[in-house]
Structure formats: structure tokens, C-alpha cells
Structure 1
Amino acid sequence: MGLGKFRYVLAVADFGSFRRAAGALGVRQSSVSRAVQQFEDELGVSLFERRTSGAHPTDAGRRLLYEARPALEQLELACKIAAAAGRAELGIIRVGILTSLAGGFLREMLRYYAMRHPDILIDVQDGGPDEHVSAIRKRSLDIAFVTGNRSVTDCEIALLWEERSYIAIPKDHMLAGKHRLDWPDLRNERFIVSRFAPGPEIHEQIFRRAAVHGTYPEVLYKAVGQETLMNLVGLGQGITLVSAAWINVKLPDLVLRPLIDPADIVSFSAVWSHQNDNPALRRFISVAHTLAGRVRRGASDWAPEAKGLTRLGSEPSVAGRMPGPLP
């Protein structure tokens, strides 16, 4: 009992004639008659009274049409939704981050993707790199943005952009008068970092970079999120290390100063599973690569539309490898 045969039944009922139904469907009248007859034989009832004036539904036919037509319409709608999801016109993309969305490349990419695909929900989740990679493997995340570009087992990784590191300090701090900073300037300072992501990673970066200059600063963990931590800096409880995205955030009694050493430029990469067949993910990867100026031509996971996109802005600090010049 095929769906195609039932479409013929509906057409006959709608047009009141096998001849007119065949004309509307673009098939021969004999094909419609044969399909309807087979459908009736499978059901064991007659659905139409054949008269010279046309075809008229029997009681059984009217009952079938009443019950089945809404189901068919629902099925057609489901097929359209599935097709739209396959073209990444509907759906959800789950994104893991560990940096601020206040500004920079990541914010612009999410904004652009949302503008181009308004029917795709972007679910953004905070977390650390290990947490994000685990979630990608479990398919609870589609893609994550992490620092560095080290290889990740069972995952794809692509370097997209870089950001200069900044030191957040109280505005009345003695270092606030300097326009640029280097690690020797910070040897006597107390750092504070969040216990939550990206705090542990920032803690490791502070120790690694300070050790290069022979200093080992005091670093205290705070059981607060990053925004509260920044307010604690403004209140004079210490200083901290942040990415360039935070320069777009205005917080009371706090200023940001760039670190001048090229080694304090941090790279950011996208990580995803090659086994993830979410169409929205494929489109997201395409947009990310294109906006970063890294379109890979001929690869099956880049959507064709990405080839026509333009790079965001003209400053390499927004998209691409090199951050903008120091202020």
C-alpha cells in the first residue's frame, strides 16, 4: 500500500474525475485508474462510485480521506523540515568557547552566521578545552574553540585566528600609566584567576611566560566567573591576564594594557569531529574558514556558499593570523 497510490486517490477526490486528476498530475488516465484500483483491492473496499458525471467518494472513501489527509499533510511537512535541516536551513549548532564574546573574531563569526542562518539555533557553552573535546566526542558539542593548534585524537583541528594577551589592572595602579607592559614589569604583582575555565589555562600561561624572565609571581584562585574576577581586579584584589576580546568590555575602575612580547600572542583553533554529520556544522566550518581567510577549496566539508563570502574587516587582528598593531 504505497504513498504514491494514495496521492492518486487524493487527486481523484479533489478533482472529481480520473481524467482531470491525470491531467493535474501529468500522467495518463489509465495510470491513475490502475493505481486507485490497486489501492482499493489492497483495502478491500471501493473508494469511489464511477459515474458518467465523474468519480464520487463512497462512505468508506470519505472516511479514509477524513482520517488520512491530515496525516499526509503532516508527513509532507516532516519531509520538508528534514530536507531543510539537511541543507542547514533549520537545526542547531552547539559551540564550546573559553574566551569572551565581547568582541573580536569569535563574536563577529557568530553574529555573521546567525545573520545568514536565522533558523539555526546557536547554543554557546562555556568550558575548558578538555571538557569541550570530551563533549565533541560524545556529540554533546558540535565544535569548540580552544587555544593553540595541537593535534587532538579523533578530531579535526584548524587554526583560525590569533589575539594579543592583555594585563587587566586597577585604573589607579602604578602600572596603569604605562601604555605597554612586559613580564619584568609584573614581577612583584599578585595575579588572580578563576577556578573555572579558562582560569586554569590562564594560570599555566602566567607561570610559563613569567618563568622565561626568571620570575615566579603569586597566583591566587578565586571561585568566581570571569566577569566577577574582572570586577575584583577593579577593586584592587590583584591583576589578571586576558585575551584581546576583553578590550571591548567597559568595567569600572579597570584598564587593560597589552603585553609587547610576540610570545604573548595566543592562537585560537576550531576543533570538531569528522564523524559529525550535522549539516549546520559543515556550514559553520565553512563560514569560520572563510572569515579567517582560510578557505580550503575542493574539500567536501566546505559549503559552496562559503566561496562567495568576504573576509571580515580589513584588520588582521579581526580575522587571520597576525593581531593588530600595539596601541
Structure 2
Amino acid sequence: MPNAADHLFVGGRLTERIDLVSIVQALAVAEHLSFSGAARALGIRQSGVSKRVRRLEDILGIALFERHPRGVRTTIAGREFLERARTALDEMDHAFARARRGGRGETGVLRIGVFTSLAGGFLRELILEFSRSHPDVALDIQEGERRVHIAKVRAHSLDVAIATGNADLVGCETAELWREQVHVALPANHPLADRIELSWDEIKDERFIVSEFPPGPEVHDYIVRRTADYSHYPDVARLAVQHETLMSLVGMGFGLTLVSEGWTALTIPDVVMAPLASEADRAPFSAIWSPANDNPALRRFLTAAHALAGRVRPGTSDWANRIAASQ
């Protein structure tokens, strides 16, 4: 009974497996049109090349070469087989190279959930720098609500989320990267529009408008948290508009809203933005990812984020080292 490990079925009959070494040697013979020339090029004995090629011909059931005293010539069947074999080997080389690059995080797809504007600031710089240094990694950037992003990170349908907050999360790693001063967006003709900075006492009685879409719900909660007490509750209207339309409504005088610092890089007609003066209004932004996610591109992204942030996550002194060691 033949050894099953050394045989396979081809065309309904049991045949011996073809090893790649025999194919490589046959290709060398075809290139040099000589068994001796192929042997010299490969640095092996001519008898070994001749034996392997003859065995390959026996397995295939065809003659690859016509032998002559002064050399060899490929047969029609041999030429067709070897051309296809060369193509197959080239494809394998390409697949191996891509696999190696993918394993190093140089290729692939990185899915990033974002919660802030890419118009300016840290996140814009990070994504630009990463895309420049990793041109073969496709970036799939998705906007969405913080809790939805975190659920996707846990499910590995997102590789990393960039969101506000720095608290530890069950099943996730969190690293604070930067902080942004919260800004008030107000109409250009508002009495406070020429202020360099603002305080909550100056604006808590104003009418605020937020979007029903992310990050509107979090902005709503933030306004309530910063202004509500036993004697006051803010006037906050939730509108079924995207953030761009919301900013236009601010310019038209429908109310004030809050934005992250990244929005200050944009020029919006009839809208000015002034920072809130309090240190408490510096919002932390963090990278959130699953420690079980084995995407090599994620490790490279986190390393780039750490390098740009210029520090390691507080309380985890070996964070950057663990990422670097895993590459």
C-alpha cells in the first residue's frame, strides 16, 4: 500500500506528489538547455539534477526535454508545463512576500473608529503620518458613537477606536494619547464672539443645540454635567441633523454648541469658536483596542500613536515596549 503522505489523487488516479525542488531544477535545465549547466548554476551534482528531472517526467507521464549529446531542448508538452510552473512559483513567491510584509504590519487593512474631527490636531497628524509611512496599509475610517465603536472593538470588527475618555474598559486596552480644549461655537454676531476665551458662567443660560447623531448625545451629556445643579438645568435642543448642518445653524443664530479643538482648523461662515477657560474642559482622547486583536497593522499604528504622543500610557510603563516586541 503506498504511503498516503507521498501520494495524491490526480484525474482519478493515485500519483506521487511533486516536490518543488524537482520543478526548480527542471526550470534551471530549461534555462541553461543543459543538465551540466543547471547543476553548475545550482551548485549541485549533475547526476542529482538528471535523476530528479527524470523522476518528475515519470510522475507527469511526459517528456520535458529532448536529450542530445550537446544539450537538451524542451518538448512542446514540457514547455507548456514549465511555463505554467514558472508562473505558479512566481505567484508563490509573491504570496510569501506579501505574507511576510503582512505579518510585519506593512500591508493589510486597519479599521479605525473616530469620534472627533480630522480637520486638524493630533488625530489628523497621526493618520497622515501613518498613511505616509505605511502606504500599503488600507485605512478604513469609520465615524460613530463611542459605545458602538467599543462594542465593535471587542468584536474585532474595528481594530482601534479613537474616542474621548481614558477610563479602563472591560476586555479592552486604553491609552490616552492627547487632550483637547473644548470650544464653544457661536454666531459671529453674538455679544461674546470677540472673547478670547469663555467660562460656563457666561454661557450656561444660552440655548444650546446638538445633533442626534454622534457625537451629539455625548455633547448633550457634557453640557448637562457641566452646568446643571439643583437650581438650573440647561436649554439643550437635539436636532436630527449632521454636525456640518448643525454648525451652519449655529452661524444662523439658532443656538450655541460645543466642539473639539480639531474643528477650529475649519472656517465656517458666520461661526466663531472660543475655548472654555477651565482646565476641567480639556477632554482626553484615547486609543481603545482589544488585546486579543492580532492585526500586525494595529501594533504598528499603536507604536506610531505612542511616538507622536511622546509618552507611555500612565500606569503601564512597558506599554510601548510590549507593542514594539510584538512586531
Deviations 1:205-225 (A, max 9, x none): 111111269632111111111
Quickly say closer, same or farther: Cα 1:188–1:293, change in 2 above 3 A.
same
Q: What is the DSSP-based 3-state SS (H/G/I as helix, E as strand, rest coil) of the residue aligned with 2:169?
A: coil
Pairing 1:197–2:211 present: no
Unaligned runs of 5+ in 2: 1-17, 313-317
| TM-score of the pair, normalised by structure 1 | 0.87
Q: Secondary structure at the match of 2:228?
A: helix
Q: Does 1:54 align with 2:76?
A: no
1:79-118 correspondence runs (5 A): 79-118=96-135
Cα distance in structure 2, aligned partners of 1:173 and 1:298: 46
Q: Size of the alignment, in residue pairs?
A: 305
**Cα contact 2:182–2:258 (8 A) shared by 1:** yes
Pair 1:231 & 2:248 matched: yes
The answer to which of 3-12 and 103-112 deviates more is 3-12
Letter of the 1:77 partner, please give it. Answer: H
> CA deviation digits over 1:241-269, x for unaligned, max 9?
11111111111111111111111111011
Deviation at 1:297, TM superposition (A): 7.0
Distance 2:135 2:84 in 1: 35
Kept in 1, the 8 Å contact 2:121–2:262? The answer is yes
Residues 283-322 of structure 1 mapped to structure 2, 5 A cutoff: 283-294=300-311, 296=318, 299-302=321-324
Q: Normalization by structure 2: what TM-score?
A: 0.87
State the superposition RMSD in angstroms. 2.1
Inter-CA distance 144–297: structure 2 relative to 1 (3 Å threshold): closer
- Determine the C-alpha separation between the residues in 1 that align with 2:282 and 2:33: 74
Percent identity among equivalent residues?
A: 48
2:183 partner SS: strand
Question: Structure 1 residues 299, 27: closer, same or farther in 2, change over 3 A?
Answer: farther
In structure 2, the partner of 1:39 is 56
Report the Cα distance in structure 1 between the residues aligned to 2:57 and 2:231, rounded to whole angstroms.
Answer: 89
Larger Rg: 2
The answer to whether the 8 Å contact 1:184/1:213 transfers is no
Question: What is the distance in 1 between the residues matched to 2:326 and 2:155?
Answer: 28
Is the CA contact 2:121–2:261 (under 8 Å) kept in the aligned structure 1? yes
Written as runs of structure 1 = structure 2, the 5 A alignment for 1:167-246 is 167-211=184-228, 215-246=232-263
1:103 Cα deviation after fit: 0.7
Give the counterpart letter for 1:159 in structure 2. E
Cross-structure match for 2:8: none
Q: Deviations over 1:291-322 (max 9, x none)?
A: 001255773422799xxxxxxxxxxxxxxxxx
Alpha-carbon distance between aligned partners in 2 of 1:67 and 1:178, rounded to the nearest angstrom: 74
**Cα distance in 2 between the residues matched to 1:114 and 1:202:** 30
- Partner SS for 1:301: helix
Amino acid at match of 1:272: W
How far off its partner does 1:23 sit? 2.4
Give, in whole Å, the separation in 1 of the partners of 2:319 and 2:170. 24
Residues 26, 278 of structure 1: alpha-carbon distance in 2 compared, 3 angstrom cutoff: farther
Amino acid at match of 1:76: D
CA distance in 2, matches of 1:32, 1:217: 86
Which amino acid is the alignment partner of residue 301 of structure 1?
A: I
Greater alpha carbon shift after TM alignment, 256-265 vs 62-71: 62-71
Partner secondary structure for residue 193 of structure 2: helix
What is the correspondence of 1:255-270 to structure 2 with a 5 Å cutoff? 255-270=272-287
Given that 1:168 and 1:241 are in contact with CA atoms closer than 8 Å, whether structure 2 keeps it comes out as yes
Tell me the residue number matched to 1:26.
43
